[in-house]
Amino acid sequence: MSVDQIAREVAQEVERQRSAAVAAERVRTDPSTDNLRALISRWRVVATITLAGSALATAYAFLTPTIYRAEATVLPSSAISSSSGLAQLGNLGDAATQLGLNLGGNGADPSALFPKLLRSRGLGLAVLSREYTGEDGQSRTLFEVLGVDEADERRRQERALRRFHSGVLRYGHDRKSGVSSVAVEMEDPVVAAAVANDLIDELDQRSREIKLEQAQNQVDFVSERVAAIAVDLAKSEERLREFRSANRQTGGSPTLMLEEARHMRDVELNQQLFITLKAQQEIALIEEGRNTPLIAVIDRAVVPVRRHAPDRAGIMLSGFFLSLILGAAAAVVLHQWTTVRRAWAGSA
């Protein structure tokens, strides 16, 4: 074998060894490979943290009180206040509007009013003060059910209202269908259904009271305007009568003709207003006497059978995966820390 062949073989062997060393170094320094080695070497850390986290999540899932949700659905009326008389009065209503008279209702949206009524202090205290018989057969007020026990009555009411509004009462409205839902979330399903139905009844009653008050205000306002316009009409008619009595012949005088036209115009205007307001007065009186419900109950609340919360399976799965991720991260961190310490010890 010649010297050149030996030299080539030696060079090839050196190149193979160098390539192998580079590949080994790449494998050693590859983050994914390094992390995999960390997980394998620290599997006890991963398993311990995963088991501990899963145990805590399971304990939380089963120790958290079971919550039941009772829900009632209603369809609010499209008119909270007195129905508008303008559409019923036709051209007379248009004329009154042009003169600045508000003959209709305020156009309040029931879906916007109901949440405010449900969260009002008066309605809340009315429900909180009632006694409810629970699943265990015991009767307690919502103050007792919510665990509010304060010596100061004012603070007791405020705390109970906060807990009731934030943790118990739920309201929803579907704009597409116009259906509203009133839900109550509590540990006792029987009490939850009873409270939800009482809320619906209170909502209907207080909405009627608001409508009745608006109708009464409308009647008072229109009646005052009818009386005032009647006086103005009588005065304008008297002025026209006096003018015609004093001026039997007005055809030859442009001034007298204009004066007569002005008096006639005043009479016609007051007559139109009087007729419009009298019609509106009748409508307001009818609205005042009506006691129709402002909400149509689609479904009253029934005692729920299935729990609403907690989602135990979801909590346990989430706890398992979060613990697994945390355990893997801890294993990688410990492995990296050990590697750094060894490097420091070797350099020293």
DSSP assignment of 51-99 equals HHHHHHHHHHHHHSPPBEEEEEEEEE-S-SSPPPSHHHHTHHHHHHHHT
Is residue 177 domain-resident?
yes
Residues 80 and 155 grouped into a single domain: yes
Clarify whether residues 292 and 225 are in a common domain.
yes
Same domain, 79 and 209: yes
* Best CA proximity match to 169, nearest among 120, 208, 204, 108: 120
- State yes or no: pLDDT of 213 exceeds 80: yes
Nearest in space to 298 (alpha carbons), one of 210, 208, 120, 177: 177
Residue 19 lies in a domain: no
| CA gap 162, 319 in Å, rounded | 31
68-76/295-299 β-pairing: antiparallel
**C-alpha to C-alpha distances, 181 to 72, 110, 214, nearest whole angstrom:** 6, 13, 26
Considering the domain architecture, whether residues 127 and 48 belong to the same structural domain is answered as no
Residue 26 lies in a domain: no
Whether 193 and 293 map to the same domain: the answer is yes
Residues 261 and 341 in one domain: no
pLDDT at 104: 45
Q: Is the pLDDT of residue 83 over 70?
A: no
Average pLDDT over the chain, rounded to an integer:
80
Q: Do 41 and 134 reside in the same domain of the chain? A: no
- Pair 286, 248 in one domain: yes
Nearest C-alpha neighbor of 229 from the set 270, 265, 269: 270
Structural domain range at position 84: 68-299
In a domain, 14, yes or no: no
Is the pLDDT reported for residue 105 higher than 80? no
- Tell me: pLDDT of 249 over 80: no
Q: How far is 87 from 102, CA to CA, in rounded Å? A: 13
pTM of the model: 0.64
pLDDT digits (tens, 9 = 90+) for 114-148: 888 888 999 999 999 999 998 888 899 999 888 88
8 Å CB contact between 212 and 202: no
SS3 call for 11: helix
Question: Would you state the pLDDT for residue 17?
Answer: 65
Any idea which of 42-46, 292-296, 312-316 has the lowest mean pLDDT?
A: 292-296
153 part of a folded domain: yes
Q: Given a cut of 50, is residue 103 above it in pLDDT?
A: no
Whether pLDDT at 106 is above 50: no
Check whether residue 54 and residue 122 sit in a common domain: no
How far is it, in rounded angstroms, from Cα 79 to Cα 345?
83
Q: Is the domain of 94 the same as that of 178?
A: yes
Residue 139 maps to a domain: yes
Q: Is residue 25 part of a domain?
A: no
**In terms of domains, do 188 and 263 share one?**
yes
**What is the number of domains present in the chain?**
2
* 3 occurs within a structural domain: no
Model confidence at 344: pLDDT above 80: no
* Encoded amino acid at 3, one letter: V
Roughly what angle, to the nearest 10 degrees, separates helices 189-246 and 121-128? Answer: 140
Residues 240 and 294 in one domain: yes
Q: What is the domain-level CATH number for residue 211?
A: 3.30.1890
